[in-house]
Amino acid sequence: MLANPSARAEYETQKRRVLEQGLSQQDDYGKAKSSFVKAILDKQVF
């Protein structure tokens, strides 16, 4: 995501949404954003 400014901005937005839901415990936070991260990574070509 570091090489893709658009994906990075979307990720920042997603992280804020997760925190707004009150999910601040590391496990819950990670689970809440994992589907987004997977979708972004699936789009990346390495």
Give the pLDDT confidence of 12-46 residue by residue, as tens digits.
999 999 889 998 898 998 899 899 889 988 887 55
- 3: DSSP letter: T
DSSP structure class, residue 25 = S
Asked if pLDDT for residue 5 goes beyond 60, the answer is: yes
Q: How far apart are CA 5 and CA 2, in angstroms?
A: 7
Q: What is the pLDDT of residue 45?
A: 57
Cβ partners under 8 Å of residue 18, min gap 6: 29, 32, 33
Contacts of 19 (CB under 8 A, 6+ apart): 29
**pLDDT score of 13:** 93
Cα diameter, the chain: 34
Domain limits of the chain? 5-43
